[in-house]
Amino acid sequence: HTSQDKNPYLFSSFYHRVYRNVENYITKHESQLKSKYPASMTATMLCTGLLGVLNECYRSEHSIKNLLPYIRDMYKDLLMSNLFITA
């Protein structure tokens, strides 16, 4: 287990690997399925969770007010997915 603070090189390598996989998946399946969220937001959510997505928004030049609906929808979609709901 590591974090951005403990080992920035390892975390950066991990993040870029996840980002490339997310981007490749979106590119491969874009004819069948339109991506609802940007690849960078998806990779950040997978690597660092909600706080990471919020940090990324603060670091970017986008207003948090503009991105908050995307973040809220992303987590709502995740929590309402088949990962957490059983029939």
DSSP state of 62: S
Whether 87 has a pLDDT exceeding 70, the answer reads no
Whether 86 has a pLDDT exceeding 80, the answer reads no
pLDDT digits (tens, 9 = 90+) for 42-84: 888 888 888 888 777 777 777 778 878 888 888 898 888 887 7
The structure's pTM equals 0.67
Distance of alpha carbon 79 from the chain centroid: 14
Cβ distance 23 to 39 under 8 Å?
yes
Angle between helices 8-29 and 39-59 (to 10 degrees): 130
Q: What is the CA radius of gyration of the chain?
A: 14
Beta strands in 1-87 (DSSP E): none
